[in-house]
A and B are shown apart, each in its own frame.
Chain A
């Protein structure tokens, strides 16, 4: 999702005594951002606290969204400190400068969960940090015993001397805190891992089985009021007026609060607030955007995709040479293919509707937010309320699904504004209808592809033009001033870095605004790009009269990592043998965030065009799988998320307003429709890659390719059910 700046980093570990006699180890790094002229020393997030009772706590700036990030952190710290994984607790770090990540993006510092970066961040920072702490503890014990360091070892939370004496970490930590910090401590090599790489039960799960996990909607405070909101149904519209007198007399209703583009009812509980809101008749000012239907928007993108876009020119290449070579490659082709692929707007629709709780007083604000972007909540709320940032306290609650939607902070700002207005703590809860219809959405995207093949079917040139609106025109992230291109071209990465031997590529982006709020959604542009690429590759294979997997094999001959993943998937699915009669298979492969994923979909389509999803087999090479069972869970979840988007999901605008309001018109895949899912993890020497988003992109293509095998019909637009199919239960 975000690219890192080039860094030169030198690690410092600092130590300190905290309240209650705990010893805190924290890390800072000398960082030289590419854009800065002088190095700045800024603290990174990695803290480890050892309490007098021996409790070890790791602090984290990654929101636990169910991806298992906190358990991975516990495993990393436990591995390096030679402790049991369950002996390390994980807490969200305070949202303050010292915990910000300054290694990504262009902002002042990030406290954010996105881009499948959590494990990768931990890999680079926390392993080294924890390894350094272990050496300090060892040295401290050696000093206390006046023995050589080499005679000491660590295990199970104690330092042990060869003579048999032991000292608990907690008792040597204060001495360790006063020692000079050893430099350049290397973390344990992978071959010596005893905990990392083995499945560990996730630490967040027990509280999610008895109702005790506290999500944003569950926050309780003294004197807490509850608000719900109606936002202008047309994007860009604002509130002109609202007659609140009758509503404010309803039982339980405290106040009607007008915001710039919304009106909220504050009451003693959600039901009173909702009943009040239901009878309000706000008058809206028109949007500066002309109200459109999605059919018009889709037509605009089709035009844009077939017109020249902004060409991606690799570093060191010249535009004119690239264009010439592409044209020559096209001319060499014995046959030419062309197709347009389309995906609609999608809503994230996490099961927990948007909500936030705020308690704003004159000189301070405290917020409880299920959020992926704590630093932005703090920054913007401080600005809007006119408070210094350190007077805005942000607590992260448990989060009922993020998928990218909670990188936007609209609901947190609203909660703060409403609380300021009523001068009391307020919990704002959006209805499902608001959550579904008020964005921010996954961009509608249209992709035109062209290929030329020689007489043997080998590609000689390839063109890819994506037309979509820009996320950076709408996301709150635009405050950090990242140029449009960097972000929106992320969706092009799959075409640029397509692993197949497809020469003379021309990759273009045609940004086309549609007036609809947008943000990142799980796998971002890859879901659209990989759908187009992996289906079009099947079209190329068919034109070459070669089996689609054999064709891929041939084009991956110089890519051992991708080829290994392909071969593993092929053997798992027994691809080279005919499929079960009546069943049909499709293949797709993608690379994103450092991970390679291949999937085989096995489906059945009956004469009434009812589709049964029998099975999805998935192979992932994420380099290192810290917690394999959690990686499998992320693959399963990504596949189901991707299937919902590919087969069922669609946000449609009519006269500028969203049609879909709830799960009846925006269905999610159900348990009965869910295929059997088989996941294999292929370990490799590659650095740790993402797993939260990476199962999403190929699944749509794998299913579309299988539907082609079953019916001879190419599905070039999502959702597939729009093409006259129905989705049947698997059994």
Chain B
């Protein structure tokens, strides 16, 4: 089956079985490996991408459920040159350790900031349910606050 997608601003046609999760389409058919496989059932958030601007866990979205020409943004499309305010804040706060969960963290945080440009700590608690095994949560929180213009705590 053929599917037409708009990924990071580019139109792409892919031929794949309709039950294939968006995660594997992005990673294997489109070669965008920044989006990570962590649990396969939507629990960890490592596979978070934006579908029409909303954060989704792409491992649980079969490609046939994605309407034709949907806008999909992956970590590779967050900015061209690490210039998204969150990427700048992530480096300033030295957030990643192993880094594997971070593309998903960044995409979840970007969706949060689009909805709430100045989130408080509770908003961050609610939105940031992605799992990190290295324990970068305190820095994730600080980086989101920094990117949203808070330099300290709310």
Contacts and interface: CB of A to CB of B under 8 A. Distances in A.
Given A209-B102, A210-B76, A353 B37 contact: yes
Contacts of A533: none
A271 B21 CA distance: 8
A671 B17 contact: no
B38 A351 contact: yes
Nearest to B17: A251
Nearest to B92: A201
Q: Binding site of A, secondary structure by majority: helix, strand, loop or mixed?
A: loop
B10 interface: no
Given A209-B106, A220-B31, A351-B131, A429 B97 contact: no
Interface string B99-126: 1111100100000000000000110111
A674 B90 contact: no
Interface residues of A, number: 66
B40 A432 contact: yes
Given A351-B38, A662-B43, A674 B21 contact: no
Given A66-B97, A401-B98, A671 B129 contact: yes
Contacts of B139: 633, 636
Contacts of B130: 671
Nearest to B103: A211
B141 interface: yes
B94 A201 contact: yes
A275 B21 CA distance: 12
A569 interface: no
Contacts, number: 185
Contact of A204 (B99, B122, B138, B140): B99
A662 B41 contact: yes
A432 B98 CA distance: 18
A349 B132 CA distance: 10
Interface residues of B, number: 61
A638 B97 CA distance: 11
A217 interface: yes
Given A210-B78, A270-B37, A670 B129 contact: yes
A633 B138 CA distance: 9
B125 A270 contact: no
Contacts of A215: 33, 36, 100
Contacts of A42: none
A272 B128 CA distance: 31
Contacts of B33: 211, 214-215, 217-218, 220
Nearest to B89: A209
B58 interface: no
B96 A208 contact: yes
A350 interface: yes
A731 B125 contact: yes
B135 A637 contact: yes
Residue in B38, B94, B97, B129 with the greatest tally of chain A CB atoms within 10 Å? B97
Given A399-B98, A672-B125, A674-B137, A351 B46 contact: yes
A669 B32 CA distance: 29
Interface in B65-106: 74-76, 78-79, 82, 87, 90-91, 94-103, 106
Interface string B13-47: 00001011100100111011111111111011010
A349 B36 CA distance: 15
Contacts of B20: 269, 271
B124 A403 contact: no
A731 B97 CA distance: 25
Contact of A640 (B29, B75, B106, B135): B135
A668 interface: yes
A543 interface: no
Contact of B43 (A206, A214, A641, A664): A664
Contacts of B46: 351
A671 B137 contact: yes
Contacts of B38: 351-353, 432
A636 B102 contact: no
B134 interface: yes
B32 A211 contact: yes
B100 A351 contact: yes
B41 A211 contact: no
A208 B21 CA distance: 24
B6 interface: no
Nearest to A216: B100
B60 interface: no
Given A209-B82, A350-B100, A401-B98, A637 B134 contact: yes
Contacts of B76: 210-212
A66 B138 contact: no
Contacts of B103: 211
Contacts of A204: 96, 99
B100 A400 contact: yes
A369 interface: no
A433 B40 CA distance: 9
Nearest to B127: A671
A520 to B, nearest CB: 16
Contact of A211 (B34, B97, B128, B137): B34
Contacts of A637: 97, 134-136
B43 A663 contact: yes
B124 A671 contact: yes
A671 B100 contact: no
A629 interface: yes
B71 to A, nearest CB: 18
A226 interface: yes
Contacts of A664: 41, 43
Given A66-B96, A210-B34, A270 B43 contact: no
Contacts of A640: 134-135, 137
Nearest to A224: B28
A589 to B, nearest CB: 20
A65 B91 contact: no
B140 to A, nearest CB: 6
Contacts of B102: 208-209
B44 A663 contact: yes
Contacts of B17: 251-252, 271-272
A306 interface: no
Contacts of A98: none
Nearest to A433: B40
A206 B91 contact: yes
Contacts of A638: 135
A353 to B, nearest CB: 7
13 contacts: A65-B97, A208-B99, A211-B76, A215-B33, A218-B27, A269-B24, A272-B17, A351-B131, A401-B134, A639-B135, A662-B41, A668-B131, A671-B141
Given A351-B36, A662-B43, A670-B137, 13 more contacts: A66-B99, A206-B82, A208-B99, A209-B91, A211-B33, A215-B33, A218-B33, A351-B131, A353-B38, A399-B98, A664-B41, A671-B130, A674-B138
